Amino acid sequence: MIVVTGAAGFIGSNLIARLNQDNFKDIVLVDDFSHPEKEKNLAGKTYSEKVHRDDFFAWLDKNHTFVQFIFHIGARTDTTEFDMAIFDALNIGYSKKVWEKSVVYGLPLVYASSAATYGMGELGYSDNHDLPFKLKPLNPYGVSKNEFDKWALQQEKQPYFWAGLKFFNVYGPNEYHKGRMASVIFHAYNQIQKTDKMKLFRSHHPYFKDGEQQRDFIFVDDLTNVLVFLMHHRKNNGLYNLGTGKARTFADLVKATFKAMEKPENIEFIDTPEDIRDKYQYYTCAEMDKLNGLGYHKPFTSLEEGVSIYVREFLDGHKYK
């Protein structure tokens, strides 16, 4: 039996599809299940049971002998939310309890951290275990993820296997419910559909031209491949970056979106709002040597191929995975 928290969300539902693909069907879904659009993410999936997140720990106390692995993907991911109490409860307190139960019951654990922990990136993007104690995330979401990473690293009692994965810019199907927090590709597709053009932030940095701000974009299928690899690997505990190791520009992303939509390129640049300008990241890129050192060498989907798949197989027609 495999437990997936955040099961109805973007990454959680893609993980369930990936597990089903490998014939894992005894899966327990943990979430609040109150969002109608997120429920559509679970259509056609095979699983054993749904458990409300508030009931999960009581459920685990009764059923831990049947559980073989926990993927703790659930979190509050809104980077525009500034009520730290929400993150303290959902991203730190809840995660600590998942960890502690994993220790008590001897369960392997993989949990979702975030590249938001790196802040402006002024200290680089290394996933070594010294860096979290020096990082300065830019928002409460990033702070909450980094605080949990630091807490995990300091624990004497640990699950016999654990990995915290710093997700970079993930995109792909089943993110219709995310609103403002959906990927840039999702927003580009919708804006191009409505206006036949895409607006990007102008660069206010002397070393970057307009549209050449860069991110490490990772297709969700590549991310779930790594999750399944770690489920089987079960050694070498620690924090790991999960991106592609290649930074691509927003212009590249938008051009790929226009091409997938078979529309002529039409990019307009607008000023970055002044209230976020001093905290705007111009470059992110995952250092991937640590994960590669575990023996994971499967190639990552190129941005052009990933965008094409996402647009043509899912966004066109509002389809789910």
Quick one: which H or E segment has residue 72?
A: strand 69-72
Q: Are 75 and 140 in contact (CB under 8 A)?
A: no
* Rounded (5°) CA angle 53-110-42: 50
Listed residue (16, 27, 44) closest to 224, CA to CA = 16
Token pair, residue 261, equals 């939509």
Query: Catalytic residues, which ones?
Result: 141, 178
151 backbone φψ class: left, alpha, beta (φ>0; ψ -120 to 50):
alpha
Specify the residue for token string 């959906």: 182
Cα(242)–Cα(230) distance, integer angstroms: 12
Separation in Å, CA 174 to CA 9, 118, 183, 217? 8, 26, 11, 16
- In the chain the first and final C-alpha atoms are separated, in Å, by 22
Listed residue (67, 74, 65) closest to 28, CA to CA = 67
Output DSSP code: residue 283: B
Q: Are 27 and 1 in contact (CB under 8 A)?
A: yes
Listed residue (88, 19, 75, 74) closest to 48, CA to CA = 19
